[in-house]
Structure 1
Amino acid sequence: MSRVIEFLKAFNSRTCQVVLGAGAMRSAGLKNITAKHLALASQSLSIMIALIPYVRETFRRHLSQKQAVMLVEFDKLKHQDYQEHQNEIHAKLIAIMGDRLNAHIRTFQSTPREGVNSYMTVLVRETVTLHKVLSRHLSAAVVEDVMVQVFAAINHRLLEEYAKSSFAQRRGTPGVRLFPAFDNERFLTNLCLDSLLTDARFLHQKLAELKNVGKPSAMLEIVIAELRVPQPTSPAVNATNFNSAKSPATIPNAASVPRPQTLHHRPPRIPIEILLQHVYAGTHLPRMLSAAPPILV
């Protein structure tokens, strides 16, 4: 029995050295360790995890009560060695997608574009490829567990990047214009947000089509919608008021007309940090006014 335990420990250790330790790059001449290699390593560990209980039971039938104490080594192998090693492999898969996401975000520009931005197209394609590789070699439960964590990492990383973008950071700052060369500041800001919203909807649509995986949250779409600059509201003018206003007999002296302090009602400003806290916590942002959405600062 001791030799069987040593064999199982050696298999686990060698698998770790070859894949997580990148030993295969030296022994097999691989250029890098891909998601397929990680998935195959996880698959081999799953086979051993499934076999260990049967090996343990076989030895138990031939051991005395005093010798049966040694069976605890099989339990340690399964839970502490093999399963923890498998969790590390899955964490590595998520880390790989995080590195790819960071590389794509470097090309992100908060400028209005038509259609889906290139960084989002490549990110979705690589995420779909990862799902295809994992589905080919791993069980549906493992695939779902890994992909759900990948979805969460993508959402949170993109949220951070969108919040740091120029139009999100400088909105609401007195005297600061996001587009100095243009007059219609509100229009261009919302045009940038519409471009981001197109990216977010494309991401949600493509990831929701993946099989055996729960749909990702619409967190990005919610935040981008809240970042939009509201249009000013003007008082409605009916025909009676218009006719009476242009009648010479009813036009008062311009000096006697009090100047209005504000042309339209301005909604309250809400810091973007508070919005992100509500989104991360899964709660709804309280509306201070129902007539107009809040302005983020």
Structure 2
Amino acid sequence: MSNPVLVEREGALETWILNRPELRNPISDHDVIDALVACAERVNRDREVRAVIVTGAGPAFSAGANLNQVRSEEVPFGGPLSYARDGYRHGIQRIPLALHGCEVPLIAAINGPAVGAGFDLALMCDVRIAAESATFAESFVRVGLIPGDGGAWLLPRAIGLARATELTLTGAAIDARTALDWGLVSRVVPADELLTTARSVADLIAANPPATVRMAKRLLREQDHQSLGSHLEMAAALQPLAQRSADHSEAVDAILAKRPPVFTGL
């Protein structure tokens, strides 16, 4: 069986490629879950990685679930439903926890359909850039399921409760231009420009002090369940760390000297 997630490294940038194109890159298989979680944990420890692009091999970003695998693990009627709960908790739900906790900025380069859990995978990323061929569907209800991987938490934060409710309860798909209009993605580009555009955004992120970028991402991640007062307290605790870093001094020195900065992560 092929490697479920290919990892390509170029300098401070990694690209994670979902690598089951013949199945439209499902993420419910255990080896895919393990691979994505391992990637997130690894880059958290690797201070040299400054940005990650997540994309799919072939024409699809991700179809979400492998329905054949889901059916084969179905709990029989009358069976212990607690096993199914544990299956989610120790299975696909590990992905949103790992990616939400990933310190490195994640850029979804959405090259085609992002369906169900595949849509939710895109929502787990910090920046979303779509090819013109991309489509999005929170399609769980159409197969008699609910979003079990965090979609009902992630989607309203991306596009607001009204639109998230419409997509979740209808299971309908939207195209890339609608996604842009709704603020779901930040850019829509021709398919042959998708990875180039994603890399240009990644390069802009990677050009900044890496420790500061990780702290800024943490502030953005925490704000959605903090009061303003709690958020300001967290910022007050993190800002002195940034101010005393060598990269902050280098940034100021470079501005005053009118030269490009050289950041080390220190």
Q: Which has the larger radius of gyration?
A: 1
- Normalised to the residue count of structure 2, the TM-score between the two structures is 0.29
- Normalised to the residue count of structure 1, the TM-score between the two structures is 0.27
Higher helix share: 1
